[in-house]
């Protein structure tokens, strides 16, 4: 009994000390790791800077080559020389950025055809128009005639499947309209929100953490759909999980987000969703437009990443840099397909929020976060070698640490320490008294 008491008291002393230490650490201001210095995004920053500097009459976009070098499409020799001087690779093309923009405007002004999409592909110097299996022969013929009127800057393609919104953190949330995924935690400085897809539900939608509708976690306060595809869901109660900048990728793991950036054509990207889990692919186009049956969304990121119903709103990222949230697409994760993402920077600006857990300089796209760099290593890494970011364990262990780190546990921790010390002192006193009695008994027997 004495030994059990001693061991229990020692365990209590250790536990109480941990509670006090963790709680004391929680009172210190948290810091985030520095913004990711991505070679891929640095190359993208170089290319985008040149496109802005030279103008859309002399350039037609930029992308990242397989060797990691930035490539800029140019329309004249002088522009090519300036691109080379800046350390990027020029490629002479027929159509300028103005030409490609004019083509997209013509497509947008035509009668809307559900099941179609288009995106600018700077590498091929074309606007690629795709029509899914739901588009009739008559509508396809009309689109083809329109493309011929626009000219050689438009390429027509048929695609399998149907464009759908992936409704049905990448943790799941459940509403009356179906299931979606949490994208990123954001804040306006006073309240905590989750950012997800706009088509998941209009303002006022109620969300639950279980599909039985028992645990309400938040309500949609702002929604943008169609046009854009993003919304804010305000958490109903404060919780440590509301303030994390780690996105779930399954199996009790997560990726820590360190900054916000812009996607680049040719870049390897990663997505997480509550249905199909953790997936990766490549950015194939920017400023994409998709005509869903429910409405048209423009300004999207086009990728080869697969997605399935329930993945809507899930996060898109690469190398710890947050890029967007899942909108919709076609195909599935067995056969593959195309998935479109709402750019994150546009959503943050429109909603007036920033990512949770990041300093101001990293929570919004800046020169450091969007990939621009002052060094000469823009092409140091190929886009295909990009990794998702820093992986770490999340889940039950994380929740336990959050509870231990609560400053309110300082008092209980001190009580546990004090009680354990009293118990240890008591066992020591009992042992000393027992030794004294034993000595007296032995002494009496010896001199009896």
Is-catalytic flag, 248?
no
pLDDT value at 230 more than 60: yes
Question: pLDDT digit string (tens) for 34-50?
Answer: 444 567 778 888 899 99
Question: pLDDT digit string (tens) for 262-279?
Answer: 999 999 999 999 889 999
Question: pLDDT digit string (tens) for 128-178?
Answer: 999 999 999 999 999 999 999 999 999 999 998 899 876 554 567 777 667
Question: pLDDT digit string (tens) for 318-327?
Answer: 999 999 999 9
Is-catalytic flag, 199?
yes
The fold for domain 160-358 equals Thrombin, subunit H (2.40.10)
Is-catalytic flag, 312?
yes
Which pTM was predicted? Answer: 0.77
Higher per-residue pLDDT: 264 or 5:
264
Angle, to 10 degrees, between the axis of helix 2-26 and the axis of helix 410-446?
160
pLDDT value at 366 more than 50: no
Higher per-residue pLDDT: 333 or 19:
333
d(CA 309, CA 331): 10
What CATH class does 97-158 carry?
Answer: alpha beta
pLDDT band, residue 231 (cuts 50/70/90): very high
Question: pLDDT digit string (tens) for 86-102?
Answer: 999 999 999 999 999 99
Mean pLDDT of 415-431: 64
Q: List the structure tokens of 293.
A: 């049956």
Given the residues 199, 272, 370, 373, the one annotated as active site: 199
Given the residues 121, 132, 192, 229, the one annotated as active site: 229
Cβ partners under 8 Å of residue 58, min gap 6: 74, 75, 76, 78, 79, 96
pLDDT at 234: 93
């Amino acid at each position: 009994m004495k030994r059990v008491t001693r061991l229990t008291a020692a365990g209590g002393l250790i536990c109480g000390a941990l509670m006090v230490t963790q709680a004391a650490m929680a009172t210190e201001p948290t810091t985030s790791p520095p913004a990711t210095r991505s070679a891929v995004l640095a190359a993208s920053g170089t290319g985008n800077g040149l496109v802005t500097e030279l103008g859309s009459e002399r350039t037609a976009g930029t992308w990242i080559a397989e060797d990691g070098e930035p490539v800029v499409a140019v329309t004249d020799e002088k522009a090519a020389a300036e691109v080379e001087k800046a350390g990027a690779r020029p490629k002479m093309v027929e159509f300028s950025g103005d030409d490609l923009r004019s083509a997209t405007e013509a497509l947008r002004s035509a009668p809307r055809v559900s099941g179609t999409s288009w995106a600018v592909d700077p590498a091929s110097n074309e606007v690629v128009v795709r029509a899914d299996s739901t588009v009739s022969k008559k509508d396809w013929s009309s689109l083809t005639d329109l493309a011929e009127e626009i000219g050689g800057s438009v390429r027509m393609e048929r695609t399998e499947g149907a464009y759908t919104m992936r409704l049905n953190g990448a943790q799941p949330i459940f509403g009356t309209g179906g299931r979606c995924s949490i994208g990123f935690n954001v804040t306006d400085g006073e309240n905590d929100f989750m950012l997800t897809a706009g088509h998941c539900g209009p303002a006022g939608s109620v969300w639950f953490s279980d599909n039985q509708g028992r645990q309400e976690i938040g309500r949609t306060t702002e929604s943008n759909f169609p046009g854009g595809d993003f919304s804010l869901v305000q958490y109903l109660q404060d919780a440590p999980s509301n303030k994390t900048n780690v996105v779930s990728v399954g199996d009790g793991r997560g990726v820590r987000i360190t900054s916000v950036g812009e996607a680049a054509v040719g870049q390897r990207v990663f997505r997480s969703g509550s249905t199909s889990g953790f997936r990766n692919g490549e950015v194939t186009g920017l400023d994409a437009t998709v005509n869903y049956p429910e409405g048209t969304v423009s300004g999207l990121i086009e990728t080869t990443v697969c997605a399935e119903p329930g993945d809507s709103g899930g996060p898109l990222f690469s190398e710890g840099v947050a890029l967007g949230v899942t909108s919709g697409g076609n195909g599935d994760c067995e056969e593959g397909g195309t998935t479109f993402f709402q750019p994150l920077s546009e959503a943050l600006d429109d909603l007036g929020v920033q990512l949770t857990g990041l300093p101001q300089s990293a929570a919004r796209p800046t020169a450091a976060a969007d990939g621009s760099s002052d060094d000469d290593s823009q092409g140091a890494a190929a886009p295909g070698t990009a990794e998702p970011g820093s992986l770490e364990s999340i889940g039950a262990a994380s929740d336990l640490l959050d509870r231990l780190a609560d400053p309110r546990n300082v008092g209980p921790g001190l009580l546990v320490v004090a009680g354990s010390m009293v118990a240890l002192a008591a066992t020591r006193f009992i042992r000393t008294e027992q030794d004294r009695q034993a000595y007296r008994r032995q002494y009496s027997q010896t001199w009896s």
